Amino acid sequence: MKRKLVIAALALLMIIVGIGVFLYNSIDPIVKSAIEKHGTQIMGTKVSVGSVHISLKSGRGTIRDVSVENPDGFSSNKMLKLEEITVDIDVASLNRDPIVIDEVTIAAPEVLAEVNAVAQSNVAAIKRNVGSYQSSKVPRERKEGGGFEKRFIIEKFVFEEGTVELDATALGVEEAEDRELLPVRLSNVGGPNGDTPDGIGKTVSRAFLGAIADVVTAEVRARAMEKAKQEAGDEAKKALDKILN
């Protein structure tokens, strides 16, 4: 009888260890799926992730090849490409609520800003999607089946060394050279009590898209003024030719 109990205990222990190993090894696809799901919901257009690698032991994570599709009404090109995102997690907070992420760094994001024939931009379209996105969850984000969704705090979030390529050829404006995107730095994202993945994503997206919109607006305005001056100069030259001839 005692032997059977020992065997049963060992079997139970192996099952528990197996589940732990499974969860440990499966964290990468879970995170990948979560980013794609929440990102697509918030942006209103498809978000894809190439790969995710997170070490629960060190708290370091790397997310590679993230892309955001253009919204409807624009080209089939990617609106946003993020080659690599690095994440530092406070491992001690993983069993607490909120979970604390010390730092998230996105280096060298590449943005394609398009303006179509009716003077609408893809950046503005996605900003509207983000602004109008509302989570369908009830207050405190109760999950199906009971319990509450985990909250997060990101102590430091950085976008740096980004570039914006403007394509306004649909308006007759020559395509601009790449423009530098000023760094975007956020701190204490989620507040003292933390926020849900949806809330965190919305806060970060709005800040990043706002910085892009500033660059696009300034560039389109400068190009439009340059074109207007050139056309005015051509008209003045024609008028002068008529007078002289």
Q: What is the pLDDT of residues 6-27, one digit of tens each?
A: 444 444 444 444 434 444 456 8
> Considering the chain, what percentage of its residues have pLDDT values greater than 70?
73
Whether the predicted pLDDT of 145 surpasses 80? no
pLDDT band of residue 213 (cuts 50, 70, 90) is: confident
pLDDT tens profile 24-75? 456 888 889 989 998 999 999 999 999 999 988 899 999 999 999 999 989 9
**What mean pLDDT is predicted for residues 132-144?**
55
Summarize pLDDT for 163-172 with one digit per residue, the tens: 999 888 877 7
Q: Which residues contact 99 (CB under 8 A, 6 or more apart)?
A: 89, 90, 93, 150, 151, 152, 153, 194
Evaluate if residue 146 carries a pLDDT over 50: no
Residue 168 pLDDT: 80
Average pLDDT score over the chain: 79
Tens of pLDDT, residue by residue over 182-208, are 899 999 999 999 998 888 988 999 999
Q: Which two tokens stand for residue 72?
A: 């409807």
**What pLDDT is recorded for position 225?**
73
* pLDDT category of residue 178 using cuts at 50, 70 and 90: confident
Whole-number percent of the chain with pLDDT over 90: 39
What is Dmax (Cα atoms) for the chain? 118
Q: What are the pLDDT digits (tens) for 78-105? A: 999 999 999 999 989 988 889 999 999 9
Identify the CA nearest to 191 among candidates 179, 183, 199: 199
Other C-beta atoms closer than 10 Å to the C-beta of 93 total 17
pLDDT of residue 15: 44
Residue 53 structure tokens: 């690698």
pLDDT at res. 22? 43
User: Under the phi-then-psi rule, with left for phi > 0, alpha for psi from -120 to 50, and beta for the rest, what region is 44?
Assistant: left
For tokens 């051509």, the residue is: 234
Parallel/antiparallel/unpaired status of strands 162-167 and 110-114: parallel
pLDDT (0 to 100) of residue 77: 92
CA distances from 48 to 66, 79, 83 (A): 6, 12, 12
For the chain, report the end-to-end CA distance as a whole number of angstroms.
Answer: 118
Task: Work out the number of other CB atoms within 10 angstroms of the CB of residue 39.
Answer: 19
What pTM did the predictor assign?
0.77
- Buried (b) or exposed (e) across 190-205, using 16+ Cβ within 10 A? beeebbbbbbbbbbbb
Give the pLDDT confidence score for residue 62 in this predicted structure: 94
pLDDT at 137: 44
- φ/ψ of 45, rounded to 5, equals -155, 160
The DSSP H or E segment spanning 218 is: helix 197-244
What element of type H or E holds 206? helix 197-244
